[in-house]
Amino acid sequence: MPLPDKEAVHQDLRPRTATCDSRPVSSSDDEVWPAYLEHTRELAGQLLRADDPHDVGLQFMGDTIEVITTGEYEYAVSMYNLWGELTDWVELKPAEEDLAKAEMVRAAREWLALNPRDSDAVRRYFDHWLHEVFHHDQS
């Protein structure tokens, strides 16, 4: 499954100014990013209650792609990459499915435990998951 560019992993939590529908999108006039952050917390809560966390992981990816297409949101790419790794783990290594699903639950719990508006906490979260757990390059 192709993933978006991983270069945005270490960026600030605020969305960069980007063009969307010929109108600049910035953190001052954009309501997409705060709504997305709230939505990710709702999804994490759903994942904790889900019979199959893989399905919610796929929803994380789909909903994140929608946000990425509205502008260049730094940590949305990291979120997509994280849930892509977790869902691929389930799909590509069936013998490790239980472990992969347990890690999905851990990732959701850790996301709920942090303040998503604290860019340092979010950076540490994605550094841990993408670089320490899944060994993405830190370019």
pLDDT tens for each residue of 105-117: 999 999 999 998 8
Q: Residue 119 is part of which domain span?
A: 20-133
In a domain, 97, yes or no: yes
Residue-wise pLDDT tens digits, 50-104: 999 999 999 999 999 988 988 767 789 999 999 999 999 999 999 999 999 999 9
**Dihedral pair phi/psi, residue 30, rounded to 5°:** -110, 130
Q: What is the pLDDT of residue 139?
A: 65
In a domain, 38, yes or no: yes
Identify the band that residue 12 occupies on the pLDDT scale cut at 50, 70 and 90: very low
- How many Å apart are CA 102 and CA 29, to the nearest integer? 38
Under DSSP, is residue 29 helix (H, G, I), strand (E, B) or coil? coil
Give how many domains the chain has, as a whole number. 1
Q: Which residues 6+ apart lie within 8 Å of 120 measured at CB?
A: none
In a domain, 3, yes or no: no
pTM (2 d.p.):
0.76
In a domain, 54, yes or no: yes
In a domain, 7, yes or no: no
In a domain, 129, yes or no: yes
In a domain, 2, yes or no: no
Q: What is the pLDDT of residue 71?
A: 78
